[in-house]
Every structure is written in C-alpha cells, then in structure tokens.
Amino acid sequence: MSAIIVATPGAHIDLCNPANSSTSQLLMRTTAHSLNALLRAHERGRPESNTGTHSLRNNFAHIIPTRPTPTSATVASSSGHLLPSIEGFVSIVTAALNTKTAVLVTALVYVERLRKRLPVSATVAADTPYRVFLAALMLADKFWSDHAVSAENFVVAAGGAFSRREIAAMERALLKLLGFRLYVSADDIRQHARRLGFAIDDETSLPGVK
Amino acid sequence: MENYKRKREKQRVRIRTKYEIIGFISSGTYGRVYKARPREGPGIELAIKKFKPEREGETRPSTGISQSACREIGLCRELHHENVIDLCEVVMDDNAIHMVMDYAEFDLLSIMQHHTQHLRKPMAELVIKSILWQLLNGVAYLHGNLVLQRDLKPANIMITSSGVVKVGDMGLARVFRRPFQPLYSGDKVVVTVWYRSPELLLGSRHYTTAVDMWSIGCIFAEMLALRPIFKGEEVKMEKKQIPFQRGQVLKILEVLGSPSKEQWPNIELMPDYLHMKQFRHYTNSLKSWFASTGLKSESGFQLLSSLLEYDPDKRISASDAMDHPYFKEDPKPVKHPFLEHNISYPKRRLTLDELCDTKPHMSHVHHHQQQQQQQKMHAETGINGSSAANTAGQ
C-alpha cells in the first residue's frame, strides 16, 4: 500500500516506485528547471552589493569551485569532466541509483528551499546546479531510506565528474545552507506536487495509527 | 582567496568557543556524547552529540554525513515536547556535526542498574508509574506526529535529575505517513532484540506504532523485575540474511504462552510463521510472572497485558494507555518523582578527553585513568562512591 500521485492527465505516479517511469519525466524536468533557476539567479544577480547575507553567500561559495566559470554551451566540472545538460544529468543519476519518486520530490523541496534562502547576489558557477542536485539527492535519500546510497555509488552515478571528497563537501555545505532543516511533511510534498501540476491522492486515513 | 578563507574562518562557529565542554559521557557507533554548558547566557547544562563521519575506517574524511545524523536532525528540528529530548542547535565544526541537546542526568538503564547492583531493592511503584506515564506521553506525541521511535529501550530513555523523562536517540526513528516509502526495506533490522515485538520477530513488513508499544511493555516489566522480561540470545546476521530470532521468540512464549488464532487472527500471514511450528505448546504464565515482582495492582497487570498483546492491532496505543485505570489509582504518577520524593541517584560519571576544557569545574569530574582506578576499586570492594545513592528508591 503506497500513496499515489495522480497526474492531471490521469496518469499515476507511485511514490514508492523508481522515479524513472515515463510520467516522472515531468518531475525530472521540473527539478532541472529549478536547478537552472539557480544558475539564472547568478546571471541576473552579479555583481550586487552585499546585503548583509555574507554568511549565506560565503557558505554557498563553498559548494562551488574556486572561480566562477562563464556559462557556455558545454559545462565542465571542476575536474574537467564534460557534463550533459542538467535534465540529462538528473535523468542519468536517478536511473543509475534507481531513485524513488518520494526521494526525488524531497530533493526538489530542498532545492526550492535553497533557492528561497539564497541572496540574489550569490555567485554561482556553471556546474553548481549539478553539485546542488547531487547534494540534495544524497540528503533526501538519507532522510527517507533505511539504507542510504553510499557516497561511492553517487560518484559512479555522476559519471566520475565529482570526487567523493567534493560530494561530501557539497553535502555538508547544503545541509548547513538549509539550516539543518531536512524534515519534509506530507504538506510540503503536496504543495510541490500541486505546483508541478500533479494532484496527490489525498489519503486521510493513516495506516498504522490507532 | 586567502582573504575569503580568513573570512570564512572568522564566521565559523567553533563548538568550543560557544560551549564549555565539561566532560565526556559516552560513545557509540554514531560518535561521542559530551556534557557542556554555554559560555554565555544561562548556566544550563547541555549534552553535545558529536557525530563521526560515516565509516570512520576509511582513510579520508570524504564519506559524508551519517544517515542517523540526518534522520535525527531532520526529525528533532521539528519535534518539541517535554518528554522528548530537545534539540537546541546544530553546529558544523571540523566537518563534524554537533547536536546540542537537553542534558539529562540519568538514563533508565543506569537507574535500574543502580537498584540491582547497589541498592538491592526494587524501584518504588510511584517512580515506575511516573516514568511509565511520561514515557507514554512522549511516545504518544511522537506517534501523533507520525514518527516511530523504533528503538525504545532503557538506555534510550533519558531522565533528568528531578525525574522528568526525555525520550532520546532518534537515530532510527522515521516518519511513517503516506505518501512516503513503505517502512520495510530489505534487510534493515530495527529495535534491539529484547524489546522487539512478535510481528517484527515474525518478519512483518507493515509494522506500525504498535512496535513501540511492545517495547514500552518490555520496559515496564523490566522496571518491575529489574531484569529484562524477554532476555533472549540474539542470533547474529549472516550473509545479509535476517535470521529467525529463535531464542527471543522462545523467551516470549515461555511467559506469554503460545499465541492462538483467536488471540492473533493474522498470525498465519506473518512471513516467518512456519518457524513457529518448531516450538511445543506453552501456556500463559504472565500472571505468576507479575506476582513474582511483588506488585499487587490488578490494573497494573491489565496494562502490562495490553502492552504485551500479541496482535499488533489489539495492542494498546500510547494515548489510550495514558488513560488507563492504573494511572488513576494510588500512587498517582507525578511530574518530578525524584524531586517530590527526595530521591537521588549518583550523577553521571564524566571523564576528560581531548575535546574537553582541561580544567575540571566539578568535583565529580575525573581524569580517565583515575576513574578506571576507582571503577576497579568499586568492583573489588563493592562499595559505591556516592553516598547520595543510599536515599534512592524509597
């Protein structure tokens, strides 16, 4: 028995299933969109005056490589690996890790929270969305799964573009940036689903509660 | 870049700048726990749980944040109740997560051990009842917030010096409401074996808040008898296969008798039901077990039976248990049993390690070596160092 998201066209997404079903494409696209918005914030916001958000900005700088790379057609990681489009990256990583939809939605919630907390003046490198995505997925997975995916598996799933050390640093930085708030409620999930054009099958009965 | 590094260094919250680390309390697979107090502000006592990174055996510190830290932080950030350990702050220092939490002078395990080893007399009924009620109160709050604790045992039940229960260690806890993943996943084993419910022992995948209630029943029984009611031998896991816990199931059968189909209609649907066939028939002897503890209350027996109910669907819930007649008869549970009845137990022993502030500020802080010597002496003489202990348990 698992909860089901009903997509508007009538398709069902089972939150307990791997996210790679055809209907989850929309979810993945939205995640990618959200991540790209991080990048756009950078293009728009630079170079802003400091607005008393030093701490956030500087913490964020910790996620990104030493200097911002100009946005160009192809994106390379700091180690020089060429990266696919962010959409492609999200799709490849979630397929490789057999990510559950609930985990991907939670990762998206974290990305959105990060976006709200970041100041406009945050400077962001071209490969930042990729790093943020990996970190968000790692934290979401650890929050929900009883057996977290190992860091090594994340390195492999990301095609070796980021080292284990880099991934670990991103994870720490993101956790800090999120103010250590990892809890995602059913309402959070519902809200996000609604914004994506999904409707969650509103089960009010709570199995297991007496 | 250098400038940036300096700036970052300046902003970094150093745990020791903000808190005075008074002493080291204990360690576990997750990391180490310290007693501390804020350097500024109120003179309160706090516990700091310092997590080590996942799989410390690895050469480089690049493996990531431990899962239990994520779980515990994620849940504790949102949970606030007088009978649940409160998380005050999380600090990242030296790439390690530090959880700054409520400090509790005792845990239930240490109190029960003090009774068996030093006082040699049972816990007072008022204390047992007050602790049980507060434990139910904390767990009812967790269950009301869709959180399963999943590892309730005496060592995880913190108690303040006045006798307030704080349910601790949420590292295994998780949210169970849809629309999330099913609770069962592969080979994960939850709940320490002595406190594990029959449905988990029989391989249930859809377990519920009732697993915590069984553990509470075991804890209630243990407070009465001062020894675990079902002290089974754990079968170790081999080749990632969950073994059938034969010894543990046998211990339960010996006291509660063989479960009938009337008692537990769905028992035949349990994945490991076939294992039950290897046991002979046992009759229920909980009544005589209960009588042997010396507690005379019939409603106390009824409550214990409702907690140790085989069928998870029939097992009493935390909120119903709080309204049980047992709590309405004398002695009635109180909020601060130790304070109100002038009961004291020896304080936690603290040692010093490299994280601690070097100058000991409290008389009961010992250097590690010194403490070891004392422990040795206690073991040899059987004399307990704390005289305050003798007034306990009235």
Check residue B282 and give its pLDDT. Answer: 97
The stretch B135-153 carries a mean pLDDT of: 92
Q: Report yes or no: B136 at the A interface, CB cutoff 8 Å.
A: no
Q: Return the minimum-mean-pLDDT range out of A43-52, B13-22, B353-362.
A: A43-52
Residue A24's pLDDT band (cuts 50, 70, 90): low
| A167/B74 CB distance under 8 A | no
Catalytic residue chosen out of the listed positions B151, B212, B272, B353 = B151
Check residue A54 and give its pLDDT. Answer: 33
What is the nearest CA distance from A174 to chain B, expressed in angstroms? 11
Residue B155 has pLDDT above 50, yes or no: yes
Residue A180 has pLDDT above 70, yes or no: yes
Closest A-chain CA to B319: A210
More confident residue, B239 or A156: A156
Q: What is the pTM of this model?
A: 0.77
| B206/A15 CB distance under 8 A | no
Residue A26's pLDDT band (cuts 50, 70, 90): low
Give percent above pLDDT 90 in chain A: 6
Chain A residues in contact with B200 by the CB 8 A cut-off are none
Q: Report yes or no: B67 at the A interface, CB cutoff 8 Å.
A: yes
Burial of A59 (0-12, 13-18, 19+ CB in 10 A): buried
Closest B-chain CA to A57: B8
- Highest mean pLDDT among A192-196, B219-223, B360-364 belongs to B219-223
Check residue A168 and give its pLDDT. Answer: 85
More confident residue, B360 or B38: B38
Comparing CA positions, the residue from A132, A134, A140 lying closest to residue A100 is A140
Q: Return the minimum-mean-pLDDT range out of B12-21, B127-136, B198-207, B367-376.
A: B367-376
Residue B80 has pLDDT above 60, yes or no: yes
Residue B186 has pLDDT above 80, yes or no: no
Check residue B106 and give its pLDDT. Answer: 94
Check residue B359 and give its pLDDT. Answer: 57
More confident residue, B238 or A19: B238
Check residue A108 and give its pLDDT. Answer: 87
Q: Tokens 């022993």 correspond to what residue? A: B349
What digits encode the pLDDT tens for the residues A131-140?
Answer: 889 999 999 9
Give percent above pLDDT 90 in chain B: 57
What digits encode the pLDDT tens for the residues B271-290?
Answer: 999 999 999 999 999 999 99
| B64/A168 CB distance under 8 A | yes
What is the nearest CA distance from B65 to chain A, expressed in angstroms? 7
Please list the residues that pair with B38 across neighbouring strands: B19
Residue B362 has pLDDT above 80, yes or no: no
Chain A residues in contact with B185 by the CB 8 A cut-off are 145-147
Check residue A198 and give its pLDDT. Answer: 59
Closest A-chain CA to B6: A58
Residue B256's pLDDT band (cuts 50, 70, 90): very high
| B186/A167 CB distance under 8 A | no
What digits encode the pLDDT tens for the residues A76-110?
Answer: 776 677 788 888 888 888 888 888 777 888 888 89
Residue B215 has pLDDT above 80, yes or no: yes
What is the nearest CA distance from A74 to chain B, expressed in angstroms? 26
The stretch B320-328 carries a mean pLDDT of: 98
Residue B169's pLDDT band (cuts 50, 70, 90): confident
Residue A72's pLDDT band (cuts 50, 70, 90): very low
Check residue B7 and give its pLDDT. Answer: 61
Give yes or no: B320 in active site. Answer: no
d(CA A146, CA A106): 15
Residue B370 has pLDDT above 50, yes or no: no
Check residue B369 and give its pLDDT. Answer: 42
